[in-house]
Amino acid sequence: MKSIKPILAGAALAMGLTGAAQADDPLEVGFIYVGPVGDFGWSYEHNQGRLAVEEHFGDAVETTFVESVPEGADAERVMTQMALEGADLIFSTSFGYMDPTNAVAARFPNVRFEHATGYRRDHSNVSTYSARFYEGRAVIGTIAGHMTETNKVGYIASFPIPEVIRGINSAYIHAQRVNPDVEFKIVWVYTWFDPAKEADAATALIEQGVDVIMQHTDSPAAMTIAEEQGIFAFGQASDMAQFGPTARLSSIIDNWSPYYIERTQAVLDGTWESTDTWDGIEPGMVEIGEIADSVPAEVRAEAEALSASIESGEYHAFTGPLNRQDGSVWLAEGETADDGTLAGMDFYVEGIEGEIPN
């Protein structure tokens, strides 16, 4: 069967078809990553999801991946090649893959595409999925507000897109609620994965007096600097404990495995449909890593209670009263943010200094 598979695939393409050549062939699932699978952060956790698919389905599925693919034309080329080689399902796992995903999907209508963190699905063979990372940032923001002694928390931000801005706002809101004197120092690095830039950003923040670092970038470089300099930090996307055994307070862990298994099963069953998924703590797509022993028991209990209230639906991470940065009212007492506003968030909340770059 293996020796004639290229011939069968070529015949299928000639008829304008894609996917497995015969029903008993394994489902071909491709993954495209913006960073290396060894980043110990974002791409690492997506690849853990891929490995979970392999383990769950065995010989019924074959997976492939391409790592460190820049957002843009390179991504379109890689996905096109995956489709030409017989992929039935492709997971494109970074925000900047949104346009390339939709472009390739238009040319391969029989391939299913799943795009992470995007908001557009222009074709019936495209779905989007993301996690409510801001829920996790509410929890670790609470810990950060308690643990800072200088009242200065550093935040390494990647790109000024709603996903990142939501996280900054959520972390600040909850840090400020437990520590009214807290300040956020934000450095934009314009990259998802660049250990050197991330390390430089961490160093610059420490020079500004921060003693707790948060991040929305993919490498453990900031955690490593925090460990060296004797301050605190949080794991991003994965636990990162091995890089900061004394620095790490907790972490936000992205658990993609259940979603990847569910969507692969849907293709196998013939029940896959185009949809938008935005899950958080309750379904387990966002996990809070173990809270370190260095965190006082009462702070740990408060963070765990907050996580539980978000999980149960009792509490929403964006609950008023909340104002925008300019002091204008955003949410009244008890009012919660709607998903539309959160999905397009392009403003800071009151108390955060500086401007969001263009």
Q: Could you tell me which CATH number the domain at 133-253+285-343 has?
A: 3.40.50.2300
> What are the residue ranges spanned by the domains of the chain?
2-131, 133-253+285-343
Averaged over 19-32, what is the pLDDT?
77
Q: What is the mean pLDDT of the chain?
A: 94
Residue pLDDT, tens place only, 7-25: 333 333 433 344 444 557 9
Residue pLDDT, tens place only, 290-317: 999 999 999 999 999 999 999 999 999 9
Residue pLDDT, tens place only, 197-227: 999 999 999 999 999 999 999 999 999 999 9
Residue 298 has which token pair?
């009462």
pLDDT at 181 over 50: yes
CATH fold of 2-131: Rossmann fold (3.40.50)
Q: What is the pLDDT of residue 358?
A: 86
Which pTM was predicted? 0.91
Phi, psi of 28 (to 5 degrees): -95, 120
Q: What is the pLDDT of residue 128?
A: 98
Residue pLDDT, tens place only, 64-74: 999 999 999 99
Residue pLDDT, tens place only, 241-258: 999 999 999 999 999 999
Q: What is the pLDDT of residue 23?
A: 57
